[in-house]
A and B are shown apart, each in its own frame.
Chain A
Amino acid sequence: MADDVVPFDLAGCLVRVRERDQQAARQLVEHLYPMVIRIVRAHLPRRVAEEDLSQEIFLKMFSRLAQYQGAVPFPHWVSRIAVTTCIDHLRAQKRRPEFRWADLSEQETDVLDAVLTNENDLAANDAMAAHELVHKLFAQLKPEDQLVLRLLDLEQKTIAEIAQITGWNQSLIKVRAFRARRKLRRLFQELRKKERS
């Protein structure tokens, strides 16, 4: 059929990139861009432009291409570069912003107040504020821990999928998730106390 999409020949493309074929290299970037930008957008550190970060990831990919042995599928290998680059940028920020009621927007305050004081589900129009709040709470965690919890709770990925994306072993992921949840539980206790006072 004429409208059949031809599957991208990744292996062939990689061979041509290794022979320094610029057109193949451009095709490779375009093929991997949606995956890389999805990771970048999910873990984008403050004050870093998504295009700059994705450019850095692709430059690392090209400079390390000789090290790729094919032990894992190529997109997984690139996703690990993307994850590591995002974590490096998050680490570079050093100081995590303190979570304060005063810094929240009016809608975010209402949403936080609602989840802390009653047991009802949030209204559909509170979704965006809840999403923003979740990101602010994630920012209180260590970069590796927030990455695990974001993938686990927000994107609902399995431990095995997270292991593929990050290259970390499953026990380490479970430890990081446990640590992140403990920190979040403590944070919610503090928020409750502040809310009551």
Chain B
Amino acid sequence: MNLYDSRHPWSRLIRAARAVRPEQPGAAPHGFSTRVVALAWTKGTSAGWLLERIAFRAVGVAGLLAALSLILNYSTPATGGATDWRDEPVMLPADDVVVMVDLMD
């Protein structure tokens, strides 16, 4: 039997259920709109405030990182420049002629 045949159990059940009229919704409970609006406004404001705070912190951290990288990049060549290249041992390439003379001696 089709579900929408008037003799089907579902048809008779739903017909009877429709007789119960839903309670007519009245006005919002006292203070409901005030609470909702306050919550919505606070939520919106707190989200904006949080974003602002994060943004300011991000600018601070970025500035600090930029300053650190500048210091590090300038200090490395400065310390490298203090060493005289002439003080470092020079590795001379082995000369074939010198080696042969040494062997003959």
**Interface residues in chain A, defined as those with a beta carbon under 8 Å from any beta carbon in chain B:** 20, 22, 25-27, 29-30, 33-35, 37-38, 41-42, 51, 54-55, 58-59, 62-63, 111-112, 115-116, 119-122, 124, 126-128, 130-131, 133-134, 137, 153-154, 156, 181, 184-185, 188
Contacts and interface: CB of A to CB of B under 8 A. Distances in A.
Contacts of B20: 127-128, 130-131
20 contacts: A26-B33, A35-B25, A37-B25, A37-B28, A41-B22, A54-B32, A55-B32, A55-B36, A62-B44, A111-B13, A119-B7, A120-B12, A121-B16, A127-B16, A130-B14, A133-B13, A133-B17, A154-B14, A188-B3, A188-B8
Contact of B40 (A25, A35, A38, A119): A25
A38 B26 CA distance: 10
Contacts of A20: 41
A63 B32 CA distance: 17
B77 interface: no
Contacts, number: 112
B13 A38 contact: no
Interface in B16-75: 16-20, 22-23, 25-29, 32-37, 39-41, 43-44
Contacts of B17: 127, 130-131, 133-134, 154
A26 B6 CA distance: 47
B28 A30 contact: yes
Interface residues of B, number: 32
